[in-house]
Structures are given as structure tokens and as C-alpha cells.
Chains A and B, each alone.
Chain A
Amino acid sequence: MSPGRGAAAMTGEPLLDVRGLCADYGAGPGAVHAVRDADLMLHRGEVLGLAGESGSGKSTLAYAITRLLRAPGIITAGSVRYHSGSGHEVDLLAANENQLRVLRWSQISVVMQSAMNALNPVISIGAQLTDVLQAHVPGMSKAARRARAAELLTMVGITPDRLGSYPHELSGGMRQRVMIAMALALQPEVVIMDEPTTALDVVTQREILEELAELREQLGFAVLFITHDLSLLIEIADSIAVMYGGRLVERAEAAALFRAPRHPYSLGLLSSFPSLHGPRRHMIGIPGSPPDLRQLPAGCSFHPRCPYVMDRCRTDLPPLLELHEGNGRQAACWLQDGSAAAPAALALPAPPAGQAAEPAGRAAEPGPAESAAAQSGQVNLRSRS
């Protein structure tokens, strides 16, 4: 999806503007605060990655934005402003069911995590595709719906003769492609993808990501891509927001996050993925385990696992602050508020804005031959003579 990298900077008008969003599970004193004070901006044509571990609140945030959060989940505060192409603005959290019905799918659509559960097992995929069109495009003839469904399948690389197939007759990758075709059926402005490739093998995952990049180039939709796989996100996203314990802790351009993380948790996540290049080094990941949302630690919820913890972190919650370096970089860490010098690992120079990731800094630098091979994605067979 990297073709979007340059495009996002040019068409940077806001599309979805999330402010102070809070979502709880349950009410009263026992409520679990799954998302707290989330501020997020998705620009037109952008791929925004939302990274975090299980329980960090990333899926809850996505469902809250689309008002798909099911009971006992409730949205307790905040606003989600959607700026449609025609120029008017809707607060999704204040919209009534009718307004939502108009927006959902045709403007904002969702690709769910598990295609097997999201598709109806007893209805053919052709019927499920035409069902969308029937519900949302009044006056479309049956034949036209059928033709459009065939066109959608072709678009995601499935031959139209599979229209009569049932979900169990398709492979996992094909089911996920059907989900993507359904999400794109009405040419939405925003597609929210919740771990769309997590259950798939790497080769299938890569094929689907390639197709997605092509479709994005054709159709120009923006993507909110949710995953726990930060190494994948850095490759495909324009900018990345990192969540921890229900809060956004860092926001940066993908390359800047990779080369110069500003939050200790982002740094820890980045050093949790073994590299495919360079000498093998002993890595430690992040000690401890993710917090229990029912009993979040006081102060910064990352402090029990943080190697740079200070006294202040145990009592005061750091706000998500705009950093001095600009480029929309934000981090929620007391090390970055300017009162003290940040440790070297969290103060690396960021690459210039809008540039793709280039080897530098903290990561082991691959040799010239290796990086050339990595760039082309090709590794020649050894000569046989």
C-alpha cells in the first residue's frame, strides 16, 4: 500500500476526526475503560495503522468510531467527525440510526477480523454480495446487481464462476478477498480493516496486501488498518498510531516510527520482531505482560514494564503531546516533554517527512548485497558451477 505515501501528503484533508473518544465495557464502578481519550485523525486517501497488543483497545476503538460497538460496550465521551466528499460534516456519535444507515457501507465500511465468522455459511457469496447492493442501492435491477457482484469478485482476483460458492468451499485467502470485495462494493471513502490478514499464511497475506494497494490506487479510499504486527504495518501504512492499555501512546509517520521511536513501548515493540537481516543479536522484547484493563497501573500504564521509568511516571499520567520536531508526531511520555533529556534510543533523528524507510540508526544495517536483494525481493539461486 505504499503508493499512498506521497498521495496522502498531497490530499491531506481530514476525513475522520476522532476527539477524546472514551469507550467502556459495562457501567458503574466495575466498568472496564477499554479506550480512553483517543484522538485520531484519518486523512483522505491515507493508510493509518493502528498497532497494539490484544487488549490494548484497538478493535474497540474501531468499533466505537463506526458505532458498531455492542453491549456491554458503551461510548462515554468524545466526538467522531466525518467529513464527506460533498463537504458536509457529520458527528457519527450524535447521528441517529437513519443517518448512520446512509453512511455505513457506502461511506465507511468494515472488513472484519474473521472472514469465516463474518460470512454467512448457508448463503452463497453471490447472494451475500448482491444483498449489499439490494439494501443500499435502490432501483438497481437484479441483472445489474449480479453483474456488479461478478465485477467485484473479479476485482479481488476471484473468477466470477465462484459466485455460486458457499464460504466453506473457499480457501481462507479467498474468503478474505470476498470480505474485501463486499467492503468495497459501494466505493466507500473509508475502509476499516480489523486484522484482515492475521489468520492467513504469509504468501496469501502478501498477495492480498498487493491487491489492496492496487485497489487503493484505483479507488482512492482511506484505510484504518488494525493489526498487532507492527513490522507489517511499517511496510504498508503511511502513518501509525500505537495503543497501549486503552490509550494512544505514539503517533508518527511509518518510517519515522521505525527509525526513531519516541515512546519506550514503541521502541520495545520494534525490538520484539527479530530481523531478517544482519548478524543475529540477542533481543529481550518487553519484560512483563500487558496490563489488565480492570486494574491499570497508576500514572503511565506502561511504567511497570518501562526500562526508563522515573518517579513521576508512577503517579502522573503523561498526556499525548505534540512533539517539537513537528510532522504531526505525538507521544505520551514524560521523557519527551522537554523537561529532561530523552535516552539516546528515544532521541534518534527522524528521517525527513514523506520518505520511505531507509536503513539507519538502531536497526542493524544490512550489507549492500543484502539490501539490494531485500529491495527487489529476489534472492538469486546460488550458481551451480
Chain B
Amino acid sequence: MTELEVTAQPPVTGAPVLEARSLTKHFPVHQAHRTARGRRLGRGADGRAAGRPVVHALEDVSIALPRAHVTAVVGESGSGKSTLARVLARLLPPTSGEVLLDGRQLPASGAGRRAYTRQVQLVLQDPFSSLNPVHDVRYHLERPLRIHGLGENGASLDEAITSLLERVSLTPADQFARKYPHELSGGQRQRVAIARALAVQPKVLLADEPVSMLDVSIRLGLLNLLGDLREREGIAILYITHDIASARYLADTIAVMYAGQIVESGPAQQVTDEPAHPYTQLLRSAAPDPERAAPPVLAARGAPPSLVSPPAGCRFHPRCPHAMAICADRAPRDFDVTPGHASACWLHAKDLDAAQASPIARPPAGQPALARRPVSEPGKETR
């Protein structure tokens, strides 16, 4: 759906290292799963089986990770951002769509998989569970080197491990190599996890909420480390987060996900400072911001939809303060707000007729004190 081909940003060089095209991932819902009221899922009101129900975790997601570039994926829990990381890491096979590494699709064989993981590495959220408590740091860093045949003898292994630890600023390296995970702080553990990912000299680093488990005072250190890896070593980084401010700080490009789809993408500062999709506006209005003088007015209400039966049309339309008739009917394609900044929202379409653009009348959301914006102001002004 969205092409993150960024041309305006300076660090971009050439074709993307890793590219996902129209990725879709559905998870089957077990037939034994029942809803709270005891009904079987996947049956219509008339009791007719409606096919095996699935969770639509990713729907037609395209993303490109260029060299020396941080691409942030921002979204709430359940938006599919971690599923995207797992599909990109080939931990999960996509239902449809393809993942291209340097423009090629690697075979699903063991050798193809090994060649892939040699270049694409995943860093997980929780460094307390992603390191093995019974092994020391050296073991964690040795494993990928041995598996991928990168360290032949003891001396070159030692050298490789020392340089890895120094790259993530864990010095003196020989002391840290002998420590066990429980002897390290959260930030140090996450650095070990990153060093482990760097051991195979990957071209792509997929970081799934790498700092959200860490104390605030050490988060920036980790983010700066990722930024350094981008600049010094030209690694393409996917930074997954729910924190729009940290994405603005680190990323070159931001893609915003909602209910399994990318709804907006573009240069980081443009997406955060001039959000073009109502969902991005909602995220921004809800984010903590000490600069704010008055309490914020939320740009929308409610909760994300069920991904077993997502809403027709635009998946955000039930919450959207600007929803128009067409939004409930047809899913929007990407519209260019400015070159390189795309928003999947009908408000940016130029050729809607009056019926399509008529606002959806919706009952007020029950809480009178909650200020709502007049529906679809921007759409009307320009017509």
C-alpha cells in the first residue's frame, strides 16, 4: 500500500536493502474460541458458517528500508507493528506478499533462511527474557558467530567479541564478556542483545520496541546507539515504537500503523509536526507533552476495532471525526500530501462528489464533557 521511497532525506542512498511488498498476514482463529456471550465466532446472525475466521493482523503493507536510514513504525498495541517485524525477520511466513532483500527473494529452504538471517537481525523488546540466564555474555555473542561460521579460532573469536562489546559501549569488554545477564542492568542487557544482532554484520536491524522496557534516563543512550549504527555502519534500521516523540527524535521516516495497515508515512518531522491522517493527529494529541499549556483535546475517541471483523472501508472511520460517506464504503488508497508524504485518507482525495463527501452523522459518544471537533471541517472548506 505505502511505498516508503524517500528521496528528500539526505542519508538515503539508492535502492532499499529490505523491502516488503503488499504483505498480508492472517492468523486463524481457533474454532473452539468463543466470544464472551458464548456464540461461535465466524457465524453470521443467521447461524450460517461464514468461513474460518481470521485475525487480519497485517493488510497489504508495503515498506522499504533503505541503507543508513531509520524507519520508525508507530502504532498502538494491536496495530500489527510487531507482526510486521516478525514477518520481516521471517519468523512468521506472510499469508501473501513478498519480502525482498537487495531486490531478491531468498528461498524458504534452510540455506535461504540462514543467508537471510545473516543479513537481517531482530532485537526484541524485553532484554530480561531475550537473553538466556544460564549463559554469560560471551556465549550469547559467540553463538551467532559460530552458527554463521564467522569466527574460526579462539583468538579471532575473542577479537570479534571484544569489538562487538566496544561497538555497543560495554567497556571494559573482557569484564562484560564474563558477566551473566542478572549481573547487568536493563540498558546493558539491551546493549548485549544489540551486540548479538550485530555479530553477523547484518545490513538490516529490526528493533521491536527496544527501549520501552528501560528506565527513561537510559533510553536516550540506546536510541543514540541506534543512530550511531545508522551513521557509522550504514545499517538500515526498523524502529518499532508506540512513542511518537522518540520516533520523531530518531527516525528519518515514520510510518503510522492502525489496525494492520499503514495509514500515513513520510519524513519523520513532517509526519509528527503536520500529521495528515486523522489517526496520526489523534496519536499526537494524546501524547504527553509538557509544552502544552492547556489540557489537550483528543482528536478522536474510542478503541481500535476488532481485527477478526474489521470495519468496511477505512478501518479508522468509526472513530474518525471527519468521517464521510465514502469512508464507510471504500478503503482509501494512498494520497500524496506532499511528495514523499502519503496519507491513506479520503480527505486528501480531490475528486469526491457531494454524496461521497457528506459527513456521517453519528450519535454523540455518551460523555458530554468531551469536546468533539465539528465533523469534516477541512473537507468542506476546500470544496
Contacts and interface: CB of A to CB of B under 8 A. Distances in A.
A370 to B, nearest CB: 7
A375 B246 contact: no
A165 B37 CA distance: 10
A375 B293 contact: yes
B291 A382 contact: no
B294 A356 contact: yes
19 contacts: A206-B296, A210-B298, A210-B370, A230-B290, A273-B288, A276-B272, A276-B284, A284-B221, A286-B218, A357-B290, A357-B293, A374-B289, A376-B294, A376-B297, A378-B297, A381-B322, A382-B276, A382-B338, A384-B349
B287 A378 contact: no
B295 A378 contact: no
Nearest to B369: A214
A327 B248 CA distance: 35
Given A268-B217, A285-B220, A384 B382 contact: yes
Given A276-B291, A277-B291, A370-B273, A377 B299 contact: yes
A276 B345 CA distance: 23
Contacts of A54: 215
Contacts of A258: 290
A229 B276 CA distance: 27
Nearest to B221: A285
B294 A375 contact: yes
B111 interface: no
A230 B248 contact: no
Interface of A: 2, 53-54, 157, 165, 169, 171, 173, 201-207, 210-211, 213-214, 228-232, 234-235, 258, 268-269, 272-277, 280, 282-287, 289-290, 356-359, 363, 366, 370-371, 374-385
Interface in B5-50: 36
A21 to B, nearest CB: 23
Contacts of A376: 294, 297
Contacts of B296: 206, 377
Contacts of A201: 76-77, 242
Interface string B232-251: 00000000001011101100
A289 B189 CA distance: 12
Nearest to B279: A203
A169 B217 CA distance: 36
B293 A366 contact: no
The size bracket of the interface on B is 35 or more
B282 interface: yes
B337 interface: yes
Q: Which of A169, A201, A234, A356 has the most CB of B within 10 A?
A: A201
Contacts of B217: 53, 268-269, 272, 285-286, 289-290
Q: Top 3 nearest A-B pairs by Cβ distance?
A: A285-B220, A274-B249, A377-B296
B132 interface: no
B381 interface: yes
A207 B185 contact: no
Given A54-B215, A284-B224, A384-B382, A207 B284 contact: no
Nearest to A1: B295
Contacts of A275: 245, 291
A235 B289 contact: yes
Given A207-B298, A377-B299, A381-B347, A276 B244 contact: yes
A201 B349 CA distance: 30
A366 B216 contact: no
Nearest to B278: A381
Contact of A378 (B285, B286, B301, B303): B285
Interface string B338-354: 10000001011110000
B298 A203 contact: yes
A91 B369 CA distance: 39
B283 interface: yes
Given A289-B185, A377-B296, A381-B322, 17 more contacts: A202-B76, A203-B286, A204-B303, A206-B285, A206-B296, A210-B295, A235-B290, A276-B272, A276-B289, A285-B220, A287-B221, A289-B218, A358-B293, A371-B293, A379-B281, A379-B299, A381-B348
Interface string B306-333: 0000000000000000100000000000
B358 interface: no
A276 B287 contact: yes
B52 interface: no
Nearest to A236: B295
Contacts of B345: 381
Contacts of A230: 216, 290
B119 interface: no
Contact of A169 (B36, B187, B281, B379): B36
Contacts of A207: 298, 301
Contacts of A202: 76, 242, 244, 283, 286-288
Contacts of A359: 291
Contacts of A171: 303
Contacts of A385: 350, 382
B295 A235 contact: yes
Nearest to B352: A384
B174 interface: no
Contacts of A380: 377-378
B292 A374 contact: yes
